[in-house]
Amino acid sequence: MFFKKKKILSIDELNAYRVAYGKPIEKKELFISLGVPFAVAFFYIFILFYYWWLGLIAGVVAMGYAYAFIVPQQVKRVYEDNAFREKNNFVNNMTQILTNNDKTVLQALKTVTDRSHGEFKEDLLKLQANIVGGNNQDIQNSFQCLSEKYESDVIFSLYVEQLTTLVIEGRNNIETLKDIKTYHNEIKKRQEKFFIQKQQKERDFKFMCKVGVIFIGAISFSFGFKQFIDGYAHNPIGWIVSSVYLLMLAKIYNTFLQRMGDDSIMEVKI
């Protein structure tokens, strides 16, 4: 997947993943995604150094960082969340249909495909086309291709493996499918709880940044703007202190962003 590639992606490349389960990135959305980091960086630098040109440079750097890391991460999380929901619906619907012994995997697959959406639906359509009239090796290769595409979701891969066995060997393994379905639903619950915790951490980080701004503003008012600018903002000591503070804040934010983008709970290990 493109998220693992060490390169800066173009808008077209990002849109290729956005349209998999939705609409392409709109100009307004991109403007906000790049404009907010620019405004925050400009404001922070300006109130610390009171040089507009320095704030402008920081704003441009922040925009570049947002384009290279923040926007792709947002696209990644939306893409993977939608893909996981589709896989979860697939597991639940297939299991429900296959509890009826009169239904074959191919019949169930056709029904579930009609209920699916986006890129995952295209994957299922391709799977159907490859297994209809195919020999056992074709069937195994087709299911394996689907499993490998979503290999980070180990539970889903196990489910696909059981479907392969059911088609090729004709075993009645519905109880195993039910167990795997239960595991996948449990992962979904844990994932939702995990996302709620992340949202709280995001609010905490924003609050910490607001406290920093308020603290700087309070110092400015207490000393007076002229004295603050001459004695701190335009003073070498102030440059050093502010630079250290900004470096620490940048490091904290970068670590925070990496953790926010790490949805490793989806990569369940058995």
Domain boundaries, the chain: 83-186
In whole angstroms, what is the distance from residue 245 CA to residue 238 CA? 10
How far does Cα 213 stand from its chain's mean position? 29
Q: Which of 62, 146, 153 is nearest to 109 (CA)?
A: 146
Dihedral of CA atoms 96, 97, 98, 101 in degrees, nearest 10, equals: 120
Q: Which residue has the higher pLDDT, 209 or 82?
A: 82
Whole-structure pTM value = 0.83
Indicate the pLDDT class of residue 262, thresholds 50, 70 and 90: low
Q: Which two tokens stand for residue 77?
A: 């999380």
Beta strands in the chain (DSSP E): none
| Per-residue pLDDT, 4 | 52
| Per-residue pLDDT, 220 | 84
Q: Which residue has the higher pLDDT, 266 or 141?
A: 141
Most distant pair of Cα atoms in the chain: their distance: 84
Q: What is the mean pLDDT of residues 190-201?
A: 86
In whole angstroms, what is the distance from residue 238 CA to residue 259 CA? 31
- For the cut 50, the answer to whether the pLDDT of residue 133 exceeds it is yes
